[in-house]
Structure 1
Amino acid sequence: MTTYIPSITLPAMVFQNPAASILLPIALGTAVGFSVQPKETQKTYMALKQPPYRPPPQVFGPAWTVLYGLMGYAAYRAHSTGMNPLSSANQLVLFKQGATLYSVQLGLNLLWMPLFFVAKRPIEATVDIVALTATTGYLTYIWGQVDPVAGWALVPYLGWLGFATYLSAGVGYLNGWNIADKEVDASPAGKGTKYVDEKE
């Protein structure tokens, strides 16, 4: 059973304001994405042996924007219902517990890309995303009891995390858990860059 821990929980104003709730994870995710230099990230991604069903690099940006938005909407919905005077005491408790979980999972989420692409530590990155997926799964369960819409809004995110965990672990395993100094040059304009393990 989780506990509400104010010191590691986002401020209440983030949850109660729909714009802040939705835009905060989008802004933080975008900031982290740009801070790790997208071009260099793509070069590394293309140079790694990949498991089946890997998506092209350009899919991640739009997908994460939508998922961050849904995540923020879930937080707003959970707050609106959980803090409503007409809600039960149990809903209030579950919302607050979920608020701590939400804050923790957001931190774990933002940590993955620097771990994988900057520090190039696939083992630690995979441990991070496993913990993230587990935390989000429990958050979905808790907030689903507070507000069903909040729970369902987290389902696409949870599903994507399951897929991302497969990719992270698959890439780590196929590359011997060592991705240091792996990089390919970008293709000339108009030509598609191939993954290192694709045939010419």
Structure 2
Amino acid sequence: MTTYIPSITIPANVLQHPAASILLPIALGTAVGYGTRPSETQKTYLALRQPPLRPPPWVFGPVWTLLYGLMGYAAYRATKTGLSPLASSETVQATRHGMTLYTIQLGLNLAWMPLFFAAKRPIEATVDIVSLISINSYLAYLWGNVDRVAGLCQIPYLAWLGFATYLCAGAGHLNNWDLSEKEVKKTDKQK
């Protein structure tokens, strides 16, 4: 079992507030998305050799917004239920462990796009996303024991992470794990 690490964990008062808990991952995901220059990311995505079933680039923004919101809602439900005055000490402990795992997985999630598209490091991005699946599988189990709905909210996220892992590893493999040649051509305005 993991440990509750207050210094790296999103504070309980943030996760126990529904709007803050839902909007935090959406805002952070949006910031990372725009920080990696969406037009350049889209061009790089289209320039890569991709495995079958690759969705068009416009799909990712709405899907991730929905998943970030669902992720935040799950965090709210688990934290609100698990830290209630009526919760057993085992439930409180599991909830606190889940809060730390949630914070770690959110950081790993936010690191994926810069790793893959900005740093052009598909191996590290694949390790990152496989770690995300592992952490979120355990988080679904932990939070499912605290609040069934919170655990079930992890299922779409886990499914998408599985598909995203296929796309990430597939693109890495099909491009010989080297994305450096997939540089976005700079226009005269960008120089």
Structure-2-length-normalised TM-score: 0.94
Superposition pairs of residues 152-163 of structure 1, within 5 angstroms: 152-163=152-163
**Which residues of 2 match residues 39-78 of structure 1 at below 5 A?**
39-78=39-78
Task: Say how many residue pairs are matched.
Answer: 185
Could you tell me the percent identity over the aligned residues? 69
Distance 1:151 1:175 in 2: 36
Maintained 8 Å contact 2:74/2:150: yes
- TM-superposed deviation, 1:183: 4.8
Unpaired runs of 5+ residues, structure 2, are: 186-191
- Unaligned 5+ segments in structure 1 are 186-200
- Partners of 1:54 and 1:184 lie apart in 2 by 20
Quote how far apart the aligned CAs of 1:84 are.
Answer: 1.2
Say what the alpha-carbon RMSD is for the aligned residues: 1.0
Q: Select the structure that is richer in helix.
A: 2
State the alpha-carbon separation in 1 of the partners of residues 161 and 37 from structure 2.
22
SS in 2 for 1:86: coil
Any conservation in 2 of the 1:116–1:125 contact (CA below 8 Å)?
yes
Which amino acid in the other structure matches residue 160 of structure 1?
W
Q: Does the 8 A contact of 1:48 with 1:175 survive in 2?
A: yes
Displacement of 1:132 in angstroms is 1.0
State how far apart, in whole Å, the 2-side matches of 1:74 and 1:58 are: 25
CA contact (8 A) 2:40 2:184 kept: no
Give the 5 Å matches for 1:78-117: 78-117=78-117
Structure 1 segments, 4+ long, off by >4 Å, are none
SS in 1 for 2:24: helix
184 and 46 in structure 1: CA distance in 2 versus 1, 3 angstrom threshold: farther
* 2:17 is equivalent to residue 17 of structure 1: yes
Contact 1:46 1:183 in 2 (8 A): no
Following superposition of structure 1 onto structure 2, how do residues 95-174 of structure 1 map, counting pairs within 5 Å?
95-174=95-174
Query: Secondary structure of the residue that 1:49 maps to in structure 2?
Result: coil
1:194 corresponds in structure 2 to none
CA distance in 2, matches of 1:8, 1:133: 20
* Counterparts of 1:86 and 1:132, CA distance in 2: 31
Q: d(CA) in 1 for partners of 2:147 and 2:19?
A: 19
Letter in 2 for 1:101: L
Moved more, 82-91 or 148-157: 82-91
Instruction: Note if contact 2:144-2:151 (Cα within 8 Å) is conserved in structure 1.
Output: yes
Residue by residue over 1:129-176, the C-alpha shift from the partner in whole angstroms, topping out at 9 and shown as x without a partner, is: 111111111101100000000001111011100110111000000100
C-alpha separation in 2, matches of 1:16 and 1:142: 17
Q: Which amino acid aligns with 2:73?
A: Y
Q: Deviations over 1:83-136 (max 9, x none)?
A: 111222211111000000000000000000000000001011111111111111
Q: Does the CA contact (< 8 Å) of 2:10 and 2:99 recur in 1?
A: yes
